[in-house]
């Protein structure tokens, strides 16, 4: 785990870069030691995804794709609590037990807002707390 701390910190710089380029608002209620969520105007989502693709590569799941079988059988889909058809997910595997993901979740009701969520998924729950302590300050607001 310790050998990946610097890589994770480097990867998380994308959050600051997104805030510097786009008018995003931090969602204070949806942040934690291994989680960061901000709110974007929906009209910027395609530009945001182009930027995120530079760091993560192509989306793991694009909005509009079916999710039924992914939600039943896909380990990553299950780790994020299931995927919605309208959501886009990017993932970057850091190790077999560490995955950084970025998800775009449009708000319901045609609100014109989309949540952009960055989360570090830890395969070994006993390492989550130690990793959170080691990464303090790496996720904005942590």
pLDDT digits (tens, 9 = 90+) for 66-103: 888 888 888 889 989 899 999 999 999 999 889 999 99
C-alpha span between 105 and 89 (Å, rounded): 9
pLDDT band at 127 (very low <50, low <70, confident <90, very high): confident
Q: The CATH number of 2-59+91-134 is which of 3.40.50, 3.90.1150, 1.20.1740, 1.10.1660?
A: 3.90.1150
- Taking a C-beta distance cutoff of 8 angstroms, is the pair 4, 122 a contact? no
pLDDT of residue 137: 81
pLDDT of residue 141: 55
Q: Is 110 left (phi over 0), alpha (psi -120 to 50) or beta?
A: left
Mean pLDDT of the chain: 90
Percent above pLDDT 70 for the chain: 98
Q: How is the chain split into domains, by residue range? A: 2-59+91-134
C-alpha span between 83 and 59 (Å, rounded): 13
> What is the pTM assigned to this prediction?
0.89
């Amino acid at each position: 785990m310790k050998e990946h701390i610097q890589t994770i910190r480097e990867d998380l710089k994308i959050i600051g870069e997104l805030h510097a380029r786009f008018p995003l608002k931090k969602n204070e209620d949806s942040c934690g030691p291994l989680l960061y969520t901000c709110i974007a105007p929906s009209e910027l989502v395609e530009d945001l995804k182009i930027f995120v693709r530079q760091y993560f590569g192509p989306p793991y799941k694009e909005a509009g794709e079916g999710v039924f079988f992914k939600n039943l059988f896909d380990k990553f889909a299950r780790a994020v609590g299931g995927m919605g058809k309208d959501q886009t997910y990017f993932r970057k595997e850091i190790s077999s037990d560490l995955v950084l993901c970025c998800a775009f979740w449009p708000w319901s009701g045609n609100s014109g807002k989309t949540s952009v969520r960055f989360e570090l998924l830890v395969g070994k729950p006993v390492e989550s707390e130690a990793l959170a302590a080691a990464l303090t300050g790496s996720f904005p607001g942590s």
